[in-house]
Amino acid sequence: MAPIKSSSRGNILTTSRTRNRKHEHGHVVRKPQQEILLGKAQEQRTVYQLKRYRHRIVELAMEAVKPLSKLSLQKYVGPGKTLFEWMCSLEIQFWFHKHRRQSERRIRRAWAEESGGLPFPQPMPNKALPSTEFMQEGIKLISDIFFFGALQHCSFTWKADLRAREGMLGQAQEPLNYSPNWQNIEIDPKDAHEHDETPDHVTSVIDTLLHECTHAFLSIYSCHNGIEETEAPRRRGKFNRKRHCRRQRIGKSCSDKKCQEQWARVSGPNGHGTAWLSIATHIGQIVQRDIWHRAELKWEYLMRNDFVETGVVIRKKDITKFSWNTRAKVEAFWHRATQVQEKIKAFEWWQKRRLGRREGEGREAREEVYQEFRRRAFEEEKATSVAEMELVIEE
C-alpha cells in the first residue's frame, strides 16, 4: 500500500484537537490525547490509509489477510464473546420467526424439545424478523473484528424474494442515493439452507453476511482493476457516470494494462477472484474454528463457477495467500483446472486446423470440452468403483 503522506495541514494521523500547543514559556507541550494517538498510530495506520487512497485489489486483500492470519478469538472472552452472543441471539430470533404462526403453548413445547434444556427466554422475543438495527450491529462487529473497523458506511436491508428474482441469497451494492464509498447489503430472509447446503437457516444467513461484508470491503476501497462500469442513478439527475481507476484522481482513467489484464483472475466476473477468496478463506477458518463451527463460506463452489465462466486458472504461487487449512484443496483444484485448460487448448487447436475457425469460437469450444472432460471423468470414476467392488467381492 502507499505510504502515509503529509500535507500542509500536518500528518493525517493528527487532528486539530491533538496538535502540539506552546506553553506560555515557549516549550512545546503535547496533549495526552495526542500521545495516545501517536502510540496507536501503527495500529490505526491501515484504516487511515484506506480512507485516503484507492488501492489495487491485490494489495488491499493482502493488507486484510495479514492481521487475519494471526487472529485468534475466544468464544467466551472479548470480541469473540460479543460476536458469539450476537449470533446466538440471531439464532433465537429466527427460531421464533419460524414458529410465528403457532400458539405460545406449542412454541414452549417445541422449545423444550429442540433447545436441549435451555430456559425459555423471558420475555418471549418478538416473532418478526431481526430488525435492520440488529443486523447493523452484526455488521459493525464483523467490521471491527475482521476489517479493522473499515465498514463504517455499510447499511443493511432484508430483500424478500431476492433468490427467486436474482438467483442469489444476498448481494452488496451501492445505494441509489449515496456515494461509491457506501455499500448496502441485501439478504433474502427466506430459509434457503438446503439450497446452499448449510446446516440450518441461521448459518446460511451468517455465511451470507460474512460473504457480502467481504464484497463490500473490496468494493469500497479497491480500484476494481481499472475496469469501467456504469454506476447507479445519482443525485441531481446525474446518471450512468463512468467509474475510472479509483487509485487516480477524479477524471483520470486507468492506464495500467497489466492491472486490467489481471481482472478475471484477481477480481473475477462475479467478484470471487483471488482477492475475495484469500480473505474469505481466512474469515471462514476463524469463525468455524473459534465462534460458529457450523459456518461454511462455500468458497470451493464459487471458485469452480468462476473458472467455468472465464477459464482463468489461479496461479500456483497464489495458493499461499489462502488460509492454511484450505491450501490442500486449492492445490488439488489447481491441478484439475490446469488439466482442463490443456485439453481446451488442444481442442481449440484441433478445431482451428480442421474446421478453419479463427479462434475456435472459444465459449462453444470451452463448453464442449467441459462436457467431454466431465463425461470421461465420470466414466473413469465409474470404472474405478466397479474395479474396487470386484476386488472386494474376490476377497
**What pLDDT, on the 0 to 100 scale, is given for residue 178?**
60
> Which residues are CB-neighbours of 144 under 8 A, at least 6 positions away?
79
- The owner of cell 495467500 is 321
Nearest to 9 by CA among 18, 1, 262: 18
Name 341's bridge partners.
Answer: none
The partner residues of 154 in beta bridges, in order of sequence, read: 183
Q: Say if residue 226 is exposed, middle or buried (CB neighbours under 10 Å; 0-12, 13-18, 19+).
A: buried
Tens of pLDDT along the chain (395 residues)? Answer: 444 333 333 332 233 333 344 444 444 444 455 555 555 554 455 554 555 556 778 888 888 898 898 888 988 889 999 999 999 999 999 999 998 888 889 999 999 988 888 889 888 888 889 999 999 999 999 999 999 888 888 999 999 889 888 888 999 988 776 666 788 999 999 988 777 777 889 999 999 999 999 999 998 888 755 544 444 344 444 333 344 444 443 334 455 566 666 777 888 878 898 999 999 999 999 999 999 998 888 888 888 888 877 778 888 899 999 999 999 989 988 888 888 888 777 776 766 666 555 444 555 655 666 666 667 766 776 666 656 656 655 55
**In terms of residues, how long is the chain?**
395
Cβ distance 298 to 263 under 8 Å? no
Q: Which of 57, 63, 47 is nearest to 12 (CA)?
A: 47
List of E strands, 131-271: 154-158, 170-173, 183-187
Q: Are 347 and 360 in contact (CB under 8 A)?
A: yes
0.85 exceeded by the pTM? no
- Who's near 294: CB < 8 A, 6+ residues apart? 198, 199, 200, 203, 288
Q: How far apart, in whole angstroms, are the C-alpha atoms of residue 282 and residue 284?
A: 5
| Per-residue pLDDT, 355 | 57
Report the DSSP pairing between strands 10-11 and 6-7. Answer: antiparallel
Contact 218, 60 (CB under 8 A): yes
Tell me which amino acid residue 329 is: K
The pLDDT, as a whole number, for residue 59 is 81
Q: Interior CA angle at 162 toward 161 and 164, to 5°?
A: 65
Tell me the three-class secondary structure of 150-191, residue by residue.
CCCCEEEEECCCHHHHHCCCEEEECCCCCCCCCEEEEECCCC
Return d(Cα 217, Cα 150) in angstroms, integer.
Answer: 7
Which set of grid coordinates corresponds to residue 387? 474395479
